[in-house]
Amino acid sequence: MGIHDIGIDIIEIERIKNAIKDNSRFLEKIFTNDEIKYFESNGFKAESVAGNFAAKEAISKSMGTGIRNFNFKDIEVLRDELGKPIVKTYNNLEQICIDYNVLEIKVSISHCKQYAVANAVTIIKE
């Protein structure tokens, strides 16, 4: 087991608030149905949406590619029963993970009043 790469991203929560307000399709374009259900259960808090957005960006960086050859909805960030973020991959990103021998992608998300931040580590089988 080894680390393929790491990634980090930070975003202004206000930017996500504005994207949600100004673009009625923002959530559907970026997030999976289950992520949107999670946001709904959480009262659509902008900091939660921003955290997931930052997580997707951090994950793409931890793959060493950024958002290339897959899209945002190929990454799903949900929570376990304790609130820990859990990453699932789909479609092209799932295939990239198979090709790179990815065992797991770990992510941590945090936020303060103005910013949400996430870091990700892609763990591979060596």
Residues 6+ apart with CB under 8 A from 33: none
Q: Output the pTM of the full model.
A: 0.95
> Quick one: 94 exposed, middle or buried, by C-beta within 10 A (0-12, 13-18, 19+)?
middle
Given 106, 111, 113, 125, which residue is catalytic?
A: 111
The predicted structure's pLDDT at residue 80: 96
- Note the pLDDT tens digit of each residue in 11-35: 999 999 999 999 999 999 999 999 9
d(CA 95, CA 19): 30
| 111 catalytic per annotation | yes
d(CA 112, CA 54): 13
DSSP letter assigned to residue 45: -
Q: What percent of the chain shows pLDDT beyond 70? A: 100
- Note the pLDDT tens digit of each residue in 62-78: 998 888 889 999 999 99
Given 61, 73, 106, 125, which residue is catalytic?
A: 61
**Cβ-contact 120, 7 below 8 angstroms:** yes
Using alpha carbons, select from 56, 62, 46, 33 the residue that is nearest to residue 115: 46
- Note the pLDDT tens digit of each residue in 84-115: 999 999 999 999 999 999 999 999 999 999 99
Q: Which domains can be identified in the chain, with CATH numbers?
A: 2-124 (3.90.470.20)
